[in-house]
Amino acid sequence: MSFLFPAVTDGPGERVALRFGDRSLTYAQLAAAAGAVAARVRGHERVAVWAAPAPETAVGVVGTLLAGAAAVPLNPRSGEKELGHILGDSAPSLVLAAAGDALPAALAGRERVDVDVRASGPVPEDHADDGDPALIVYTSGTTGPPKGAVIPRRAVAATLDALAGAWQWTGEDVLVHGLPLFHVHGLVLGVLGPLRRGGAVRHLGRFTTEGVARELNGGATMLFGVPTMYHRIAEALPGDPELVKALAGARLLVSGSAALPVHDHERIAAATGRRVIERYGMTETLMNTSVRVDGEVRAGSVGLPLPGVELRLVDEDGTEITAYDGETVGEIQVRGPNLFTGYLNRPDATAAAFTADGFFRTGDMAVRDGDGQIRLVGRKATDLIKSGGYKIGAGEIENALLEHPGVREAAVTGEPDPDLGERIVAWIVPANPQSPPGTEELAGHVARRLAPHKRPRVVRVLDALPRNDMGKIMKRALRHG
């Protein structure tokens, strides 16, 4: 029996496990195909998987894990330089891909194994230790070449079981999403999560609001998405009664990978009566906190630490912040079974990432509300603005800006100011490009909602905000753009 996927061997064999468009695999078919992959990769330490949104990716990853090897998901949209770095760093001995996939030149020298979802092989006995690597997932590389986070098997199991408790996630659930499969969100939560529960996943291939409505109205119970997806849903709801019906009937709506703007959260709740649950995690830690399905769902809150996760907020000097006032900003540090074991081939970066007592420095800034719930205010490197003696999180200003009817999208950064230290800069995509709101209007709008010292001093108008594959705003591109 597999440590990670008991349902693959002992579960309902004829139940559909995976569906990608019109292609589906039952648990029995998945077990056979993954068993064939496992037989082919057994004995290899690391195996790259060309992570296209297709059943071959899921079969390749599951088969690799069944064999006790570590899977290295590759982003099909990576450039040659980034792909070359990942391959050189992780040194996979095999590359798994669907038979029809054309692989780039960077993979030319690697042995390729085509994944056949119709193949058959026995599921091997699971002899892997819970500390053995399951995945090597590369970070976004915003401060240099991407680093490979080595995620052990225990972290995958601990995160998925903790979320099952928080979300009452069972084998009866059918998950729909359109997330990429080379990140933790889409692969670990979105594919391995349903398989660990014995449930099903329906992958949209490419996210569309029509696809979400079709699947949720056709028996799916859960939706996972990123804020960009929920923004598109919020925009579409007023003119799409089928989408309203779909979300209203869903058991669980979850947003992650970045903070969901409060404005979109409230628009979805008003239209459907359903509130989107947020959780907080990252590549190196998998999931740290979540709102519980049976708890209070508040816009902007990512909930409480999951079982087994120790979480603290610390000041710049490392002093733990004990205030539960919703105002005092600190860096999140976490410790628990959900953590990665280190960065591949980077002992220096690994050592720098952890405190002496074993807590991981996330680089994420947050406040803690009176009941202990965590609210993220941004990244330490890009979202913490020190202005006029105050520490200000960009996230709450962005939420305030998005409440203005003239603002479609917003991002906030700081830039040097001789008087304030840093001044707050708002980058906006206006609702009407012909008449964007001015600095004075937006500054007053923010000052009335938050506090005068949190108002933007500069407003810059853009046609679009730069975003990565997961829909996160790339603030370094704004600062240097």
Residue 353 lies inside a defined structural domain of this protein = no
User: Locate tokens 């949104």: which residue?
Assistant: 53
Angle between helices 55-66 and 27-41 (to 10 degrees): 60
H helix intervals, 424-465:
439-449
- Length in residues, the chain: 481
Residue 351 lies inside a defined structural domain of this protein = no
Task: Determine the structural domain holding residue 263 and report its residue range.
Answer: 191-340+363-377
Residues 6+ apart with CB under 8 A from 353: 284, 343, 360, 361
**Domain match, 323 and 448 both:** no
Within a 10 A sphere around the Cβ of 440, how many other Cβ atoms?
Answer: 10
Tokens in use for 88? Answer: 């050189």
CA distance 277 to 255: 6
CA distance 346 to 349: 5
**Domain match, 252 and 336 both:** yes
Residue 352 lies inside a defined structural domain of this protein = no
- Which pLDDT score, from 0 to 100, does residue 1 have? 38
Q: In whole angstroms, how far apart are CA 112 and each of 57, 106, 432? A: 14, 12, 50
Strand order in the sheet with 407-417: 407-417, 421-430, 458-461
**Domain match, 201 and 117 both:** no
8 A C-beta contact, residue 383 and residue 393: yes
**Domain match, 133 and 274 both:** no
- Which pLDDT score, from 0 to 100, does residue 316 have? 87
- Which pLDDT score, from 0 to 100, does residue 72 have? 98
Residue 348 lies inside a defined structural domain of this protein = no
Domain boundary among 190, 219, 253: 190
CATH number of residue 84's parent domain: 3.40.50.12780
Q: Which helix (H) or strand (E) holds 459?
A: strand 458-461
Tokens in use for 325? Answer: 């006032």
**Domain match, 45 and 162 both:** yes
* pTM for the predicted model, two decimal places: 0.86
Query: CA-based Rg of the chain, rounded to a whole angstrom?
Result: 22
Domain boundary among 138, 159, 190: 190
Q: In whole angstroms, how far apart are CA 386 and each of 161, 389, 397, 424? A: 39, 6, 14, 9
**Domain match, 446 and 457 both:** yes
- Which pLDDT score, from 0 to 100, does residue 141 have? 57
CA distance 420 to 77: 41
Residue 358 lies inside a defined structural domain of this protein = no
pLDDT tens across 151-186, in order?
999 999 999 999 999 999 999 999 999 999 999 999
- Which pLDDT score, from 0 to 100, does residue 259 have? 80
CATH number of residue 423's parent domain: 3.30.300.30
Residue 233 lies inside a defined structural domain of this protein = yes
Burial 154-185 (b: 16+ CB within 10 A, else e): bbbbbbbbbbeebbebeeebbbbbbbbbbbbb
**Domain match, 171 and 62 both:** yes
- Which pLDDT score, from 0 to 100, does residue 170 have? 97
8 A C-beta contact, residue 354 and residue 341: no
CA distance 472 to 331: 20
Q: Which helix (H) or strand (E) holds 97?
A: strand 94-98
CA distance 284 to 366: 18
**Domain match, 235 and 137 both:** no
**Domain match, 311 and 447 both:** no
Count Cα atoms within 13 angstroms, Cβ side, for 50: 23
CA distance 372 to 213: 35
Report strand pairing: 148-152 vs 342-343: antiparallel
Residue 41 lies inside a defined structural domain of this protein = yes
8 A C-beta contact, residue 194 and residue 201: yes
Phi first, then psi, for residue 6 (nearest 5°) are -60, -30
- Which pLDDT score, from 0 to 100, does residue 380 have? 75
Residue 13 lies inside a defined structural domain of this protein = yes
**Domain match, 438 and 333 both:** no
**Domain match, 169 and 198 both:** no
Phi first, then psi, for residue 92 (nearest 5°) are -70, 145
**Domain match, 250 and 104 both:** no
Residues 6+ apart with CB under 8 A from 295: 303, 304
Burial 242-252 (b: 16+ CB within 10 A, else e): ebbebbeebbb
Instruction: Render 281-302 in DSSP notation, one character per residue.
Output: EETTTEEEEE--TTS---TTB-
Within a 10 A sphere around the Cβ of 61, how many other Cβ atoms?
Answer: 28
Phi first, then psi, for residue 334 (nearest 5°) are -135, 155
> For the chain, how many structural domains are there in total?
3
Domain boundary among 377, 401, 433: 377
Residue ranges of the chain whose pLDDT lies below 50: 1, 481
